[in-house]
Amino acid sequence: MIIDTLASAEKYYGLHKNFKVAFEYLASQNLAALEVGKFEIADGVKAIVSDNEGKAAKVAAEKFECHNKNIDIQICIRGNETIGWKPRTDCTAPKGEYNDEKDVLFYADAPDMHFALKGGQFVIFFPEDVHAPMIGEGLIKKLVVKVTI
């Protein structure tokens, strides 16, 4: 997991061939004006914009998730979002099987820690990062960029 500001995103271009594409897209957009929905930025780089009610930590932990085929770059655009996290190697209670079509595996484990993102900050979740997003009150508008591994 990496947490940083969009102003420092260039430091991470070398971590994956499509990080430069993803972060340059983010820098070129008025994030607040993005419409809710799913769209392709480039081959292997997709975006999901949502605008939903925040959840209690216990409810969010019901979808404590990780991915095998994608890296998530998550940005809270509006509202106050807290995210739960735990290393996948420490998770011991998978909930069902890995869903290859949706690229998701859920765990019944509890997060080890919680953190909040402020404006202009992002988090990168790799396959070894189990996360429970959308913790908060009120509407939370966020952008998740899926970068195929």
Would you list the domain boundaries of the chain? 2-148
pLDDT of residue 50: 97
pLDDT of residue 149: 96
Task: Name the pairing type of β-strands 94-99 and 113-117.
Answer: unpaired
Mean pLDDT of the chain, nearest integer: 96
111-125: average pLDDT: 93
pTM beyond 0.75: the answer is yes
pLDDT of residue 78: 92
pLDDT of residue 120: 82
Pick the CATH number of 2-148 from 3.30.1330.10, 2.60.120.370, 2.60.40.10, 1.10.10.10: 2.60.120.370
Q: How far apart are CA 141 and CA 148, in angstroms?
A: 23
pLDDT of residue 118: 83
